[in-house]
Structure formats: structure tokens, C-alpha cells
């Protein structure tokens, strides 16, 4: 299945509860080493692109932004020195490997921080990553966003990614 922005945007929105009041997720993106960012969504009606792209997006052309680093992330664990996304250097706080309960496939999960902001990065397979920006830094939101991110990536594994 090839990524389609509208379809995957809605899948992200649904799985990460972005339309629910009080969602722990502020914005999310799905990234493929082949396609780049193929879905980016914000909570409610908010545009999620500014959280993940420092280069202005005109709605038609795809302009590379941190693509080399993001492709590397999708091939291996988030580098310990961090990752620059949309002009922000995110530092890796933790990394773990989790087995998907349904397929037994390994999911790599990393918690990145920029000051008091937190983001989960989950690598479902080589070449596919999900970025989940947590709303605030409360322990409950960070934990709940982690669960939602893992649920979405289990969905990706079930889809063959």
C-alpha cells in the first residue's frame, strides 16, 4: 500500500486521538525513507506541518527538510546525539525495543526532549517512522502519548510496514 496523504492523515488522527478533547498528542507525522513525510496532522484543526518542517510548505511541492537525518532514524535507532527537526535539536532521553504483541515484530521507541517538550519516535520497520509530539510535559500525557504511538505503530505492522 503506497502512502496517500489524505488517507494516512486521517489514520494518524484517529489512532492518536487528535480530534478528542484533552488529547495528550499535539501533532503527529508519519515519515518514510522513500516518500518523506507522507502524513502530518495537528490536533483539531491545527496544521501540524510547522512542528515537523522548517521549510515552508506550499501545498504542492515537497521540499526536503532534514531528510537525510530522518532517513537514518528510520533505518536505525535515533542517534544518541539527537535529531534536528524543523530547526529544533531534539535530544534522545531514552530508547527501547518492544515486541509487537500481535506479530512479534520489533518496534524501536525513543523519547526525545527539547527543554520541556517531549516527542516519541517509533520505528515500525526499516524506512517507516512515526513522530508523536506530546502536548505539554506532564507525566500522564507523556505516558498516554507513548501508548497511542505504540498502538499506531502496531497498526502499521499489521498493515505490512
pLDDT at 75: 58
* pLDDT 10s digits, 116-148: 999 998 887 767 788 999 998 788 899 999 999
Cell of 58: 506550499
pLDDT in tens, 74-85: 555 566 667 778
Residue ranges and CATH numbers for the domains of the chain are 5-158 (3.30.450.30)
CA dist 37 and 65 (Å) reads 9
**What's phi and psi for 4, nearest 5 deg?**
-125, 120
List the beta strands (DSSP E) in 43-116.
83-85, 88-99, 106-114
Per run of 10 residues, the mean pLDDT along the chain (length 161 residues) is 63 88 90 79 90 63 53 61 78 85 80 92 79 88 91 78 70
Amino acid at each position: 500500500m503506497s502512502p496517500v496523504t489524505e488517507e494516512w492523515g486521517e489514520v494518524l488522527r484517529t489512532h492518536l486521538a487528535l480530534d478528542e478533547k484533552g488529547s495528550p498528542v499535539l501533532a503527529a507525522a508519519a515519515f518514510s525513507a522513500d516518500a518523506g513525510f507522507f502524513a502530518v496532522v495537528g490536533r483539531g484543526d491545527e496544521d501540524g506541518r510547522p512542528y515537523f518542517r522548517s521549510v515552508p510548505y506550499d501545498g504542492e511541492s515537497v521540499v526536503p527538510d532534514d531528510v537525510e537525518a530522518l532517513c537514518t532514524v528510520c533505518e536505525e535507532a535515533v542517534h544518541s546525539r539527537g535529531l534536528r527537526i524543523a530547526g529544533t535539536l531534539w535530544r534522545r532521553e531514552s530508547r527501547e525495543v518492544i515486541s509487537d504483541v500481535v506479530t512479534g515484530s520489533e518496534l524501536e521507541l525513543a523519547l526525545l526532549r527539547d527543554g520541556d517538550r517531549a516527542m516519541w519516535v517509533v520505528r515500525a520497520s526499516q524506512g517507516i517512522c512515526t513522530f508523536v509530539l506530546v502536548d505539554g510535559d506532564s507525566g500522564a500525557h507523556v505516558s498516554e502519548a507513548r501508548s497511542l504511538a505504540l498502538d499506531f505503530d502496531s497498526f502499521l505492522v499489521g498493515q505490512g510496514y
